[in-house]
Structure 1
Amino acid sequence: MIDWDRVAELKQTIGATAFGQVVILFLDEADQSVAGLGAASTAQEMQSAFHALKGTALTLGFTELSEIARLCESRAEAGESDLPLAEVQAIYTRSRAAFVQHLPTLTT
């Protein structure tokens, strides 16, 4: 679900203070991205939305989310618009909860 090695690498690369700021920005952006997926009305809008979500998910190691976003992005690129939005939401919710639960050990 989460690539903790990626998370540790990011923290080491940018430093603890910046890491905390990135986490706040990431979670806010991801919350908005996932909530806004249903507003995309065309395959092109969905492709763009999933592309952005994929990048955001990869930033903090949300591997399961980035993978489903990649698959949905590809399907939208092929013109599909009936994508598993509820599944994406569920994966994000689980990933976010696991990340937030583990966050105190990451920021020390």
Structure 2
Amino acid sequence: MAKGKYSVDCFQALSDPNRREILMMLTKEKQNINAIADNFNISRPAVSKHIKVLYDSGFITITTQGRERYCELQQQGFDELKEWISFFETYWTKQLKQLEVFLKTRHAKK
């Protein structure tokens, strides 16, 4: 699959459990960076680096409201992931269909 327009591969972004947890947190509502950082036992700069990876991979957007920066899920970031999964779903569906035909043919010959 071709790399998308984002500077970080979606699988690289999802490889870290902290980043996956941030994404799960953002399914409830957009949150400011400090609120996100309060949920982790790592430094705020480390959380900021995780957020940057998620931003660079297109999974989140960051908007500024006053002095706060808010993170929110972005649909487009999941497109590369959906495309990859869809490719293999189609592949396995085809393989299973061929197996089904083979087994029916074999059974009919007996």
Higher relative CO (CA 8 A, sep ≥ 6), structure 1 or 2?
1
* TM-score, scaled relative to structure 1: 0.36
Larger radius of gyration: 2
* TM-score, scaled relative to structure 2: 0.36
Which structure: greater helix fraction?
Answer: 1
Which structure: greater strand fraction?
Answer: 2
